[in-house]
Amino acid sequence: MNEKKTNKTEKVLEHLQKYGCITSLEAIELYGATRLSAIIFKLRKQGLNISTIDMPFTDRFGTKSV
């Protein structure tokens, strides 16, 4: 019964270490983390070197974006 709870920041960090990247949708679906940018900000503040890559996409209305 003394299991250590893992918070969302730790889960995202573990995901990054295992897979090398994460999308906002993955963070929401896998870990319930709706504020991925805040988690990344916190991890960078702790000294982690995390790169951001903007990916082009088309939304459900056909609008293209970066």
Mean pLDDT of 21-45: 96
- How far is C-alpha 12 from the geometric centre of its chain's CA atoms? 6
**pTM across the whole model:** 0.79
6 pLDDT band, cuts 50/70/90, is confident
CA-based torsion, 29, 17, 13, 6: positive or negative:
positive
Closest by Cα among 9, 5, 11 to 41: 9
Q: What is the pLDDT of residue 5?
A: 60
Q: Quote the CA–CA distance of 45 and 47 in Å, as a whole number.
A: 5
